[in-house]
Structure 1
């Protein structure tokens, strides 16, 4: 098994981990900006960039030697988690409105709390249940579009967004059983995801390259930030910082993401959209509060 990461002040590690939350708030914006690049091609390019960041990381930290100590099952698991989540996410935002699909995808913090409550030695409290009801009410409000009616054309995108949330929450909870691994392994996850995405793209999609500087900039920013640096700083935060505080902080991501889309003029500031954001974010925060009380009991 690989060596446990070197000690770091928890407050510093938590602050580093919070950078990931801020970067993920830009995920939907850059994904929309990268259109019309198809999902698997986008996966391959962005994770290649993320892997390149990892190579620089390895050169700076000298952790390359630790990679040989990481079991193959960890690499397979990490690659499946990153590949699955982002392939589903990019596809969802191509098939449904960005703000709505993004909010459904951001049910993952709530699902992490719920799934964790089902693990051995854990139990669900009333706060978990109420939080789950509030979160899924927000998702239902998005799908039904309030009084406007059901939008059948966007249903495939909404379904992929829900699978996206299930994928990342399942990955996050199951990763607890794999033990401590060095942050350097994230570079392998990224490069393997890129390598897996490329042949699938060539077999299933038509290659489409950006035709203007804004699209190129969005794609590069996506690979450098939300689909690159974010995974490295998050890994540091959850391993060496206050994981409960980071978990609560991650619940701000759907609201921040929605505000960014509205501010960029991509989403309209409708009451339904903000009501859904409050329900999903508030429900997840309530579930986190229930978990904190359970830990203190």
Structure 2
């Protein structure tokens, strides 16, 4: 196996790791609480990143990327972890994760609005299909039913709201990373900042669930941290030395793979309407990607930042 093929394979490992995150975060929150569990995950993940991606001195960071990129990344990771942690059931956690996967479509829209990238008419049906997919997922057995969707959201507006805001924040991060990062990978620093923010929240507000250590809870914690930390490390290897076009296209199917892995991990069956909605989210993302690719005939830069 040559280096090009090996790097591509490692990139695919990142997709598998990210697809397991929703289920793993939910399992960790069962034992350590929403805030405490997230704080532990990002603490351990930061340690993994220090040994893989390594530490980059602050003086090497472009000032704008350090400030704006750091703020967006930290805010996004907080939204992601807490939206899943605060979910009231395993099925709701999977639904919340699906809302987060609106980020590819949002990224393409942000790229068009804030850069000079042109897009074809496919961008419109792409956004519509993605949004309808989320309606289908949140509509439960009723499928594309807006009233049922709103009823489900009202049952836990905090989780769904955090996931939606997170999707917007990640789209913004992807766009500014391409414009401001200048090749600097700030993931290690940003994960440390996320961990610090979560520990501050934990010690100020507490966590009614408490922390319950056991062999299984520690195993899930390590697995979640590995999925977070090593996912980014593997993705960087893939996009730097592998087939970027193949990896980018495959990344748009993370929602379906994530739902499948989460369903198995959390022992939560998902109905036909859910899978139909999940496929629509993926399809909408692919249409948005094609909308920019048709004109530019190149892989959109922001997506190469990865995402979960």
Residue 164 of structure 1 aligns with which residue?
166
> Does residue 117 of the first structure (1) align with residue 118 of the second (2)?
no
With 30-39 and 162-171 compared, the bigger mean Cα shift is at 30-39
TM-score (norm 2): 0.81
CA 12–75 in structure 1, closer or farther in 2 if over 3 Å, else same: farther
Residue 83 of structure 1 aligns with which residue?
74
Describe how 1:222-237 pairs up with structure 2 within 5 A: 222-225=224-227, 227-237=228-238
CA 72–296 in structure 1, closer or farther in 2 if over 3 Å, else same: closer
With 124-133 and 85-94 compared, the bigger mean Cα shift is at 85-94
Residue 255 of structure 1 aligns with which residue?
256
> Does residue 138 of the first structure (1) align with residue 133 of the second (2)?
yes
> Does residue 220 of the first structure (1) align with residue 222 of the second (2)?
yes
State the SS of the aligned residue for 2:29.
coil
> Does residue 103 of the first structure (1) align with residue 98 of the second (2)?
yes
Unaligned segments of structure 2, at least 5 residues: 299-308
Cα distance, 1:105 vs. partner?
0.7
With 157-166 and 15-24 compared, the bigger mean Cα shift is at 15-24
For the aligned residues, what is the CA RMSD?
A: 2.7
Cα distance, 1:134 vs. partner?
0.5
With 200-209 and 107-116 compared, the bigger mean Cα shift is at 200-209
Residue 303 of structure 2 aligns with which residue?
none
Cα distance, 1:11 vs. partner?
5.5
Cα distance, 1:190 vs. partner?
1.7
Work out the CA distance in 2 between the residues paired with 1:64 and 1:144.
Answer: 44
> Does residue 30 of the first structure (1) align with residue 24 of the second (2)?
yes
Residues 55, 187 of structure 1: 8 Å contact kept? yes
Cα distance, 1:170 vs. partner?
1.2
Residue 3 of structure 1 aligns with which residue?
none
Work out the CA distance in 1 between the residues paired with 2:171 and 2:241.
Answer: 20
Residue 70 of structure 1 aligns with which residue?
61
Work out the CA distance in 2 between the residues paired with 1:65 and 1:155.
Answer: 38
Work out the CA distance in 2 between the residues paired with 1:73 and 1:233.
Answer: 26
CA 173–14 in structure 1, closer or farther in 2 if over 3 Å, else same: farther
Cα distance, 1:172 vs. partner?
0.9
Work out the CA distance in 1 between the residues paired with 2:25 and 2:168.
Answer: 20
CA 251–131 in structure 1, closer or farther in 2 if over 3 Å, else same: same
Residues 34, 210 of structure 1: 8 Å contact kept? no
Q: 1:42 aligns with which of 30, 37, 41?
A: 37
Cα distance, 1:280 vs. partner?
0.3
State the SS of the aligned residue for 1:121.
coil
CA 20–76 in structure 1, closer or farther in 2 if over 3 Å, else same: farther
With 232-241 and 106-115 compared, the bigger mean Cα shift is at 232-241
Cα distance, 1:154 vs. partner?
3.0
Work out the CA distance in 2 between the residues paired with 1:159 and 1:238.
Answer: 31
CA 296–187 in structure 1, closer or farther in 2 if over 3 Å, else same: closer
Cα distance, 1:243 vs. partner?
4.3
Offset from partner CA, 1:6-30 (integer Å, 9 cap, x none):
xxx6655444333221111000110
Unaligned segments of structure 1, at least 5 residues: 1-8
Offset from partner CA, 1:257-291 (integer Å, 9 cap, x none):
11112223533230111011111011111222222
